[in-house]
Amino acid sequence: MDCVFLMIPKALRRFVLVCLGFLLSATMFAQKTKLDWKVHTVGKVRQLVTNMGTLWSAATNYPGLIYSEFPPNSYEEHIGEAGIWIGAISGKDTSVSVTTSWHSSFEFYPGAEAWDSVWVVEKGDTANIPYLPNHVGVSDQDFVCRYNDYNPVSQRISEHTPLYLDVVQESYAWSSPPFDEMIAFSFHIISTRNSLKDVYVAYWLDGNVGSRAEGWGFALDDRSIYDSTQHMGIAVDRQGGVDGSAYSPLGVKIYPPKNVAANTLRWTFNWIQNPNVGPPSRDPPRYLDMSAGTIMRDQEEYDGSQFFIAFGPFQLMKGDTLRFMAGLVFGKGQEGMYKNASLLDWLVERNFKVPSPPPRPTLWITTANKSVTLSWEPRPGDVNPELYEDPFRADSVKRPFEGYRLYKSTKSIDGPWTLLAEYDIVNSIGYDTGLQYTYKDEGLLNNLEYYYALTAFSRPDRVLDFPSRESSLGASARRVVPSTTPLKTVGDVAVVPNPYRGDVPYNSYNPPWEKPQSTRPWWMEQDRRLQFINLPELCEIKIYTLAGDLVNTIRHDNPNKGFEDWNLTSSVGQAISSGIYLFSVEDLKNGQAQIGKFVVIK
């Protein structure tokens, strides 16, 4: 079977593995494991994390196309798959358990309890996690999960010999500079049953660096390099090529256990020379590769980046915990990435005890005809960013809150953002505008999406020479659609645009009338948009061909919205052709109806 698998192109292997994984019955999955995923969104890195220990969808139901996007809204991908391997000698056997690898089954799964999901904890908050009690949030967005290699799902894998390991994984993301271009991970590896000898840990990365477009060409012009002084493997995109020039490489930096000197460990860096072969699929040769202690010279050809960094050995007694850290580091080119790697070093050295931003303010939004009113004055019972205290500042400022910033985007909930207003305390820092709590944005287009975000920011720490910190744009972003309220009944229902023209680039409007859904960057047929406006609160829209054939039915039931969108597809998902179409709208409260027509020209 391995030989057959190796004939499959690299880009399709993940899909094949997922399909093979789901050959296990859905009932067994539901009973034995609680699969979950979350995406870090507070900083500039949009990073998927699952409770299988993978940084790609694996066997979860993650619906997106991009696993590691940086910068936000750029559609620039960096990871095809990533996760840890753990190898050890248990008794007389040599075994390796992997979270993910090209032609291995998934060997780590979470448990089935409700709390075996991915926990989300904000900085300073305390979470009552059963396996990590009293966890206090380290970053602006902590994810915490646990997985093991002995779950009943894992033990159904014929070639898998469990080491009986629990792994508790924490990942940290920050909302503002200088730490918003990295994700840090902390791993706690616990031997639950056996004492393990000569334990080696590897971090495996299939780096896919470049603009995510249709097909996999963007992933095939990368190469792997290694910085032994940093214990950092780097996936680098070739400039130009099918995907253009990537903004950022991806560095994977390893921090060994704090009680172990890095120079006493055996380090291995191995990039895969032949993508059609990949890393070994069987445990003994995989363990030999992990423990080899060889550093391959940097890859010269840009034909795909896939590598692992391994380190050890460790002796892990039953019940003991091996803790290490890793970082995903991004930046503008290699220079920016190295600058951020130094900042991550500084964070780790300080045990992440650095000045923090104020808590996220509460934002209230009221929509009206062609306008939006935003307000944020703290109310009783709300978390008040103006009162927050920060124990990790060096300047002895008890309450370092400085002000609010209000942003707007016409593109997406991930920006790009335009600063609408900034209001700060009058204290000879910043603009000294004074605090305000209301903003009315007028002159908008009805029935189109706008996006707003409100942040709170601190004063800089002059003693540490540390910049102002700002709460997360991503965590506070809101989608808003200004519109009129529904009409009392039918009679004025209209279709826009009419005619609908296929030669008009509606997706280039600002705000865009049409835009791709989910995380794909390219426009597709199902992204077309035609809108019925001036609807009553409860009605039914029927669309017909000129010959009287029913094309689709849309039900509208909304006391606050007077419109409905249609993507120009039939009830069975087929795109309609050019022509004249009829519509009827029936007010389901009083039975009144209206008939009209519209034109589609493709």
> Which tens digits make up the pLDDT trace of 319-333?
999 999 999 999 999
Residue 3, judged by CB atoms within 10 A of its CB (0-12, 13-18, 19+), counts as exposed
Where do the CATH 2.60.40.4070 domains begin and end in the chain?
A: 494-601
Query: 């005619």: which residue's tokens?
Result: 499
Using CA atoms of 93, 94, 97, 101 in order, give the dihedral in degrees to the nearest 10.
-140
pLDDT at 24 over 60: no
Specify the CATH architecture of the domain 494-601. Answer: Sandwich (2.60)
- DSSP assigned state of 220: S
Cis amide linkage into residue 416, ω under 30° from 0 = yes
Average pLDDT, rounded, for the chain = 92
pLDDT value for 519? 67
d(CA 236, CA 482): 43
pLDDT value for 501? 97
d(CA 208, CA 132): 33
Query: 């795909």: which residue's tokens?
Result: 304
Where do the CATH 2.70.98 domains begin and end in the chain?
A: 2-349
Write the pLDDT tens digit of every residue in 219-277.
889 999 999 999 999 999 999 888 889 999 999 999 999 999 999 999 999 998 766 67
d(CA 390, CA 459): 11
pLDDT value for 511? 94
Question: In DSSP terms, which residues pair with 196 in a beta bridge?
Answer: 316
Q: Mean per-residue pLDDT for 141-158?
A: 95
pLDDT at 12 over 70: no
pLDDT at 465 over 70: yes
Give the gyration radius of the chain's Cα atoms. Answer: 27
Other CB atoms within 10 Å distance of the CB of residue 553: 10
What are the Cα distances from residue 372, in Å, to 16, 445, 455, 477?
47, 11, 18, 15
Q: Mean per-residue pLDDT for 477-492?
A: 95
Phi, psi of 248 (to 5 degrees): -135, 135
pLDDT value for 31? 63
- Name every residue whose Cβ is closer than 8 Å to that of residue 298 and which is 6 or more positions away in sequence: 223, 224, 225, 226
Q: Mean per-residue pLDDT for 63-74?
A: 92
Write the pLDDT tens digit of every residue in 300-310.
999 999 999 99
User: Domain spanning 364-480: which CATH class is it, in words?
Assistant: mainly beta
Where do the CATH 2.60.40.10 domains begin and end in the chain?
A: 364-480
The confidence band for 523, taking pLDDT boundaries of 50, 70 and 90, is: confident
CA-wise closest residue to 441 among 534, 511, 350, 541: 511
Q: Tell me the two tokens of residue 356.
A: 């923090």
d(CA 448, CA 454): 20
pLDDT value for 85? 98
Write the pLDDT tens digit of every residue in 106-148.
999 999 999 999 999 999 899 999 999 999 999 999 999 999 9
- Name every residue whose Cβ is closer than 8 Å to that of residue 341 and which is 6 or more positions away in sequence: 230, 232, 251, 253, 327, 329
Highest mean pLDDT among 206-220, 264-278, 359-373, 505-519: 359-373
d(CA 252, CA 226): 10
pLDDT at 14 over 60: no
Burial 349-387, CB ≥16 within 10 A → b, else e: eeebebbbbbbbbbbeeebeeeebebbbeeeeeeebbbe
d(CA 498, CA 208): 43
pLDDT value for 331? 98
Question: What percentage of residues in the chain have a pLDDT greater than 70?
Answer: 94
pLDDT value for 218? 86
Q: Tell me the two tokens of residue 202.
A: 């590897």
- Name every residue whose Cβ is closer than 8 Å to that of residue 19 and which is 6 or more positions away in sequence: none
Are 418 and 433 contacting, i.e. CB atoms less than 8 angstroms apart? no
Are 508 and 198 contacting, i.e. CB atoms less than 8 angstroms apart? no
Are 488 and 55 contacting, i.e. CB atoms less than 8 angstroms apart? no
Burial 503-531, CB ≥16 within 10 A → b, else e: eeebeeeeebbbbbeebbeebeeebbbbb
Specify the CATH architecture of the domain 2-349. Answer: Distorted Sandwich (2.70)
Write the pLDDT tens digit of every residue in 328-356.
999 999 999 999 999 999 999 999 999 99
pLDDT value for 18? 47
